[in-house]
Amino acid sequence: MGEHLRIGVLDNDACALECIVRMVRSCARGFRRPVDVWSTTFPTEALMLCADATRPTDILLVDMALNGVTGPQLAPEILKRSPSTRLIGLTSYDPQTYAESARQAGIAPLLDKATLARTLAPAIAQAARRRDGTDGDGGVAAADAADIAPRAMAAAMPDSGMLTPQETRIVALSLGSLNAKQIAARLNISADTVFSHRRNIRRKLGVKTWYEALDRCRALHIV
């Protein structure tokens, strides 16, 4: 078993951060070396963790839109403190918005959060290969990457890929600021049925409150 692979995740959305960390940890199950994962919503903390020479960060997943700073603005400072860290960009917006600035800042690849289920594991594998400076698999077999990714999404969102069409409509209407009675009228069902669907959605998303469920849906682009 090889040396540890240390992966950091920086995202100012706490809900998205939690989901991405779960996906990374699930991906790590297919790696051939131990993986350590740290995460933060604060750019200053990410800088400090990357600069820790005793526990170098091999790969940093960085959101493009942070509080008061963009990923491309932060990247040069990270690379100055930790030149060997490989940067992978994440965005909820059209990747073309940041494509050129990310490239110039040394962030590659740039991933759309809506497609992480299929792109995250291969991106980590490629970054690990580049970090190691080898043509090997960086701790994960390239042929396994496509298989790891769906398992990662399943771990990050328990059963959330199984929302029914009616549940998806209820989420969409809730995100449109309709309350339970208004949703019931719109869908021609009872308010009790709406509440029953909400309970099922919370269970599938692994959260306790309806507000948490809506935050999770926003972060993961479920609707």
- The residue ranges of the chain whose pLDDT is under 50 are 1-2, 135-138, 140-157, 159-161
Write down the pTM of the prediction: 0.65
pLDDT at 33: 82
Domain layout of the chain by residue ranges:
5-132, 165-220
pLDDT at 135: 45
165-220, CATH topology level:
Arc Repressor Mutant, subunit A (1.10.10)
Pairing mode of beta strands 69-70, 59-63: unpaired
pLDDT at 204: 81
CA atoms within 13 A on the CB side of 50: 29
Q: In whole angstroms, give the CA distance from residue 59 to residue 195.
A: 42
Find the length of the chain: 223
* DSSP H or E segment with residue 98: none
* Long-range contacts, stretch 171-176, CB < 8 angstroms, 24+ apart: 171/201, 171/213, 171/214, 171/217, 171/222, 171/223, 172/223, 174/210, 174/214, 175/214, 175/217, 175/218, 175/223
pLDDT at 117: 84
Highest CATH level, class, for 5-132? alpha beta
Cβ–Cβ < 8 Å for 204, 163: yes
* Identity at 110, one-letter amino acid code: L
pLDDT at 184: 95
> Which stretches of 3-142 are assigned E, i.e. beta strand?
5-10, 35-40, 59-63, 65-66, 69-70, 86-91, 107-112
Closest CA to 23 of 114, 98, 107, 108: 114
Count of beta carbons in the 10 Å neighbourhood of residue 170: 27
Asked if 5-132 and 165-220 have one fold, the answer is no
